[in-house]
Amino acid sequence: MLNRRGQAFDVFKLLIAAVVAVVILTLLLSIIQRINIFGQGNPQTEAGKIVNDLVRQRGVVNSSGEVVFESNIGVSNIGIADATRGSLAPSQVCISPGEFEEDNRFEFVPGKSVIYKGSAKQNASVIAICDTGSAIANYRGRGNYFDDYTRGGIESGWEGVSDCECVNDNFHQTCCVVALKRFRG
């Protein structure tokens, strides 16, 4: 009789150990997924996430971790506006090739999209800031908005920034400027 209870207790201990192991594994996988150890993000998805987080925050800059451009992968103002689920229209988002504006592997439609045409993968990061278009335009008299608010992360002279349609004195809606930077790990 004693042997039966002892064997049942061993099975019960094994069951508890299995449940604890599954819980620990689930926690570890959720942490690893957030850290993104296994790979880099998609540029369009990461840009959409960043802008969606910033759309209601004026003058706050945010940047992604590493994103990887492969051939014919890009970032567009339409895709970013879609990621905000109606909070922004494409005309409220400007895209800049940023540090890649001299790189002929990137095709650029001013303010609208940047598409990578190279054959080798290109690592980058995405940086963005949102404010009202008039606040950005009217700041010019007090200094450089992008220098002051992005600490040099976005340069006002970059294509897609300097000619951004929603950065003007009469645009009182949210305007988000998104640029690409070289990934510096």
Q: Per-residue pLDDT tens, the chain, 185 aa: give them.
A: 455 555 667 788 888 999 999 999 988 887 766 655 444 689 999 999 999 999 989 999 999 989 999 999 999 999 999 999 989 999 999 999 999 999 999 999 989 999 999 999 999 999 999 999 999 988 866 778 988 888 878 998 898 888 889 998 888 999 999 999 998 87
Q: What is the largest distance, in Å, between two alpha-carbon atoms of the chain?
A: 90
Cβ-based neighbours of 55, under 8 Å, separated by 6 or more: 84, 87, 88, 130, 174, 176
Q: Give which of 43, 62, 41 is closest to 130, Cα–Cα.
A: 62
| Per-domain boundaries in the chain | 1-38, 43-182
Write the DSSP assignment of 25-66 as a string of letters.
Answer: HHHHHHHHHHHTTT-PBPHHHHHHHHHHHHTT-TTEEEE-S-
How far is Cα 156 from Cα 153, in angstroms, rounded to an integer? 10
The pLDDT, as a whole number, for residue 41 is 85
Provide the token pair at 101.
Answer: 């504006």
Please identify which residue in the block is written with the tokens 């606040």: 135
Q: Give which of 150, 157, 184 is closest to 61, Cα–Cα.
A: 150
For residues 117 and 72, the answer to whether their CB atoms sit within 8 Å is yes
The pLDDT, as a whole number, for residue 143 is 76
> Could you tell me whether strands 174-182 and 93-96 are parallel, antiparallel, or unpaired per DSSP bridges?
parallel
The pLDDT, as a whole number, for residue 90 is 96
Q: Bridge-partner residues for 139, per DSSP?
A: none
The pLDDT, as a whole number, for residue 38 is 47
Scored b (16 or more CB within 10 A) or e, 114-150 reads bbbeeeeebebbbbbbbbbbbbbbebeeeeebbeebb
> Could you tell me whether strands 106-109 and 113-116 are parallel, antiparallel, or unpaired per DSSP bridges?
antiparallel
The pLDDT, as a whole number, for residue 144 is 84
